[in-house]
Chain A
Amino acid sequence: MLTIKNLTANVDSKEILRGVDLDVKAGEVHAIMGPNGSGKSTLAHILSGRDGYEVTGGEILYKGQDLLRLETEERAQQGIFLAMQYPVELPGVNNMTFLRESMNAIRRSRHEAEIDAVSFMKLVREKAASVKFDQKLLKRSVNAGFSGGEKKRNEILQMAMLEPYLAILDETDSGLDIDALRTVADGVNLLRSPERSMIVVTHYQRLLEYIEPDHVHVLAGGRIIRSGGKELALELEAKGYGWLLEEAAA
């Protein structure tokens, strides 16, 4: 699904990623953990094509093609989805319109027919119920005046509607209380499938209690310094990042 080879990248001429390697196969869930400032969000943003990041070396292959050559919208059209740490408010843009325009943009890019209004309404109600997203919020402007939990649930709803092949969850747990975290995680778990891969970026192990990863990677100082199974997350929870950083420095 996704192969990252020796990726290096700068932000404002400062080297943030210093050689990241990662291989994500279809159906796998990878957790990327690490201390603040380790480059986790930078990696998520580069995958989604956000401006402001300069890739200085290495490559990213998504389904065998060079991901970095694709525009942000082309990546989304080809099945990459980024659930954002800080979902943006879009005053005046109706949530339903937003979802429908997104779905249709993706369908058009795949030469599929646009979804008709009735089927869309049925689908959006069904998906909203499955991720426990308040139906009333569908009629409001995207994220405008939503609580932190509602914004994150809206991200998961979008993901459920767009059915990506590769979903990247950037600190989806930040700012959520335990109940909100659980509903968001339930929503994500519903979307797990053998065709869909996920990269879960998080600072804390907490989220991984609900979304069980197949692989855990620790990103520090712009490199993956340790990879392991889900037990690595537990070890980090118990011992913090300090020991790993020391080992890496040694």
Chain B
Amino acid sequence: MNQQFKDYSQVVSQYIGNLPNDGGDWLVAQRSSAAERFTELGFPHAKLEAWKYTGIEGLLKQGFETLDKSPEFAEHAVLNQFLPEPVAGRLVFVDGVYQADLSTCDAVGITVGNLRSAMAASDRTVLEAIGSLSGVGDHGFAALNLATVHDGAVIRVAAKTSLEQPVELLHMATKSAEGQALRSRHLVMLETGASANLIERYVALDGVAYFNNLVCEISLAQGARLTHQRVQHESPKAYHLSDIHLGLQADARYHGINAAVGAAWSRTVIHNRFLDRGASCELDGIYLAGDGQLTDFHLDVDHAVPHCDSRESFKGILHGAGKAVFDGLIQVREQAQKSQAHLHNANLMLSRQAEIDTKPQLVILADDVQCSHGTTVGQLDPQAVFYLRSRGIDEQLARHLLCLGFASEVIDRFESETLRLQLTEVIRQQVRG
């Protein structure tokens, strides 16, 4: 561990040292403080409560490196991944590298682009937004992301713009991602009264091993609305870490629909800060874990101001020797009266070897609030399996239909029909009863 940490630190200082000194990368100051932060924090370990059940030994053993190399890929392979639905804009990253030729945006009132270009153009809004919600990083990987960030998406929706079609943010990993640590950082900013629908996807072409270390900052100004459909369908050998930071101004509404169905190891952390009254945050999620897979969701919803609502509903299907971690923290601070917060986590265990560590946490300091939480861990109902079999359906299909039924409550919330069909198919193929 120590040697590895030294190696990483060295890589980080080299990376920062090699950055152009001509002002093209005005993150230098932030990179340096993030590098210091990384040295201070080191890698997360099991003694930290938030990392107790999510080991990183396997990740460190892989020794992923950050290489500034251009991906090699066939264009049609990327085009094949595009959603068939019409989009207001599309941003494409292949192995973490922005693909301007494949990215488009024709709609009025929205600007999409990449972080590097924004840096080159010395875009002040972007500069100020970086780290404004996430800080320098509350764990080693997040600090590492800021210190060595390569590129990322920048999506801005102008005040009162209402986009009917979704914006697609596609990440694809190809063979050339093998052994690489990809560090992207996304910024999504909706101005006052803007409304948008973002579809963020992580897909891979081949069974490649890489580490996607992401940070995403989303700020919604007063009355802005964002529907965020997010699918992690990385390569089965990949490692995926997402830190999502939400900042919601008065009357803003965020609805995140999450699916984590790929990767050998994945962790998604969603932090939500209510910055003013009347805002609402809804989070739905479905996760799968089978042999050799670990899937982790950490939610951190902070009611620091009164009159805000949050709802979280996450469902997990564990099969084979799959392992999942769910940690849902909701804090309602003393001054946050008239808050509503409801959290639910349900897990379907299809085998004896599967494991779930689930922890809903409600910390309520205000007295005039409506809050609830619930967790279930269960198996398929044998009566239900029998019922389907008695109608001619064989046991395997019966179990599949029941698993899909369990997941459908979340899957049906995806607005994109293509995503609904894809996720249904993934469950059909991956889940072995």
User: Footprint of B on A, CB under 8 Å?
Assistant: 48-51, 71-73, 75-77, 81-82, 84, 87-94, 97-98, 101-102, 105-106, 109, 141, 158, 162
Contacts and interface: CB of A to CB of B under 8 A. Distances in A.
A92 B409 CA distance: 7
Contact of A87 (B387, B404, B407): B387
Closest 8 A/B residue pairs (Cβ): A92-B405, A76-B392, A93-B405, A102-B391, A88-B387, A92-B408, A106-B392, A72-B389
B405 A73 contact: no
Contacts of A71: 389
Contacts of A97: 401
Contacts of A162: 391-392
B405 A91 contact: yes
Chain B, interface size category, equals 20 to 34
A87 B397 CA distance: 19
Contact of A98 (B382, B401, B406): B401
A72 B389 CA distance: 6
B380 to A, nearest CB: 11
Contacts of B383: 88
Contacts of A158: 391
A101 B405 contact: no
B384 interface: yes
Contacts of A49: 389-390
B387 A105 contact: no
Nearest to B400: A101
A55 to B, nearest CB: 17
Contacts of B390: 48-50, 72-73, 75-76, 81-82, 84
Contact of A76 (B382, B389, B404, B405): B389
B386 interface: yes
Contacts of A141: 405
A88 B402 CA distance: 12
Given A90-B405, A92-B405, A141-B405, A98 B389 contact: no
A109 B392 contact: yes
A153 B63 CA distance: 61
Contacts of B408: 92-94
Contacts of A91: 405-406, 409
A88 B384 contact: yes
A106 to B, nearest CB: 4
Contacts of A77: 392
B75 interface: no
Contacts of A109: 392
A45 to B, nearest CB: 10
A72 B394 CA distance: 8
7 contacts: A50-B386, A72-B386, A76-B390, A76-B393, A92-B404, A98-B391, A101-B397
A73 B392 CA distance: 4
Given A71-B389, A76-B390, A88 B381 contact: yes
Contacts of B126: none
A77 B394 CA distance: 10
A109 B326 CA distance: 42
Nearest to A84: B387
A88 B407 CA distance: 18
A105 B382 contact: no
Given A88-B381, A92-B409, A98 B392 contact: no
A62 to B, nearest CB: 15
B388 interface: yes
Interface string B122-153: 00000000000000000000000000000000
B395 interface: yes
A51 B389 CA distance: 12
A22 B156 CA distance: 76
Nearest to B405: A92
Interface centre among A76, A81, A109, A141 (most CB of B within 10 A): A76
A105 B397 contact: yes
A90 B409 CA distance: 12
Contact of A101 (B382, B386, B401, B407): B401
Contacts of A101: 388, 393, 397, 401
B392 A90 contact: no
A90 B393 contact: no
A97 B381 CA distance: 19
Contacts of A102: 388, 391-393
Nearest to A72: B389
Nearest to A77: B392
A93 B386 contact: no
A91 B384 CA distance: 10
B19 to A, nearest CB: 51
B297 to A, nearest CB: 20
Nearest to B412: A92
Contacts of A93: 401-402, 404-405, 408
A90 B384 contact: yes
A239 to B, nearest CB: 35
Contacts of B398: 73
Given A93-B402, A106-B392, 14 more contacts: A49-B390, A50-B390, A72-B389, A73-B389, A73-B392, A73-B394, A76-B390, A76-B393, A89-B384, A92-B408, A101-B393, A101-B397, A101-B401, A105-B393
A6 B408 CA distance: 47
Nearest to A158: B391
A162 B401 CA distance: 19
A92 B406 contact: yes
Nearest to B387: A88
Nearest to A144: B405
Given A51-B382, A93-B402, A105-B394, A98 B388 contact: yes
